[in-house]
Amino acid sequence: MNLARLLFGSSIGRKFLMAVTGLVLVGFVVGHLVGNLQIFAHPDKINGYAHFLQSMGGALWGVRLVLLACVVIHIWAAVALSLENRAARGPEGYSSTRWLQAVLASRYMKHSGIVVLAFILYHLAHFTLGAAQAGTFKTALPAYTMAGDFNVLGFPVVTKGAAVHDVYSMVYLGFTHPVVSLFYIIAVALLSLHLLHGVDSMFQTLGLRNLRWAAGLRRVVAVLCALYLMGNVAIPGAILTGAVKPAAGTAAAKRAVAVSPSLPAQR
């Protein structure tokens, strides 16, 4: 049988595609969180990191296209499997007893997935394409001058004095808006719920879970999802509460001083 027909034309193949694309996307969201957590470090870190990624040019777009393909395949496989399950249940569907026995995360996978997809589209428009920034920043952010070198594996990839995009200020100022931060927190909470069931199911589909350690694996996944949620919530939470002040020398610090001259900047 043709491999493509096996993967796209059978339930087992679609489950395998969901698991593999889900694994890729889990790696992306974890890496994305690690990158965003650099907001708590010196602005050179997140600004140098962002500039390094942008300098990859075609390679970066190649990664983006792979991620986009994974998102499309993941959604298609989920919809196809959902329609199959609905057809198999027939008009009577599941009884209320079976519904109550189902795990909350698994029951609302498609609902949380829709919200997460909307969040991804807005997040890309806000922080990647800049299409949603007009109402947030009013004017374009000035360039940031690197105070030191940014190194990758010990090699300087962005040198001191280089003018780069002020991603630090873009993220910081974006999360000073309560509505944006609230939507972000709700979305990552639903994404964490989505991951809670999805990662567990991924191990089962790939044959990496058995009865001996299924319960332990589920607990490990739950702890990791909780840490993922806390890491994401910490960013807007720290900015909204003022626990983290804008770093000196950034556009965020200059705008904060313009609004409240007595506000000290983080050094």
55-79: pLDDT as tens digits: 888 888 898 889 888 888 888 888 8
Q: Is residue 263 included in any domain, yes or no?
A: no
- Indicate the pairing of strand 150-152 with strand 155-158: antiparallel
Work out the mean pLDDT of the chain and round it to a whole number: 78
> pLDDT digit string (tens) for 172-215?
888 888 988 888 898 888 888 888 888 878 887 877 777 777 77
Q: Is residue 18 included in any domain, yes or no?
A: yes
Distance from C-alpha of 36 to C-alpha of 223, rounded to nearest angstrom: 20
Quote the number of domains for the chain: 1
> pLDDT digit string (tens) for 1-38?
577 777 787 888 888 888 899 889 889 889 888 988 99
Nearest Cα neighbor of 246 from 140, 149, 175, 197 is: 175
Q: Give residue 265's identity as a one-letter amino acid code.
A: A
pLDDT at 101: 38
> pLDDT digit string (tens) for 102-133?
444 445 555 556 666 666 666 666 556 555 55
Q: Is residue 84 included in any domain, yes or no?
A: yes
State the pTM of this model. Answer: 0.79
Nearest Cα neighbor of 188 from 233, 138, 143 is: 233
Q: Is residue 195 included in any domain, yes or no?
A: yes
Q: Is residue 266 included in any domain, yes or no?
A: no
Q: Is residue 265 included in any domain, yes or no?
A: no
Q: Is residue 134 included in any domain, yes or no?
A: yes
Q: Is residue 154 included in any domain, yes or no?
A: yes
Domain span holding position 94: 3-257
CATH code of 151's domain: 1.20.1300
pLDDT at 114: 67
Distance from C-alpha of 154 to C-alpha of 30, rounded to nearest angstrom: 23
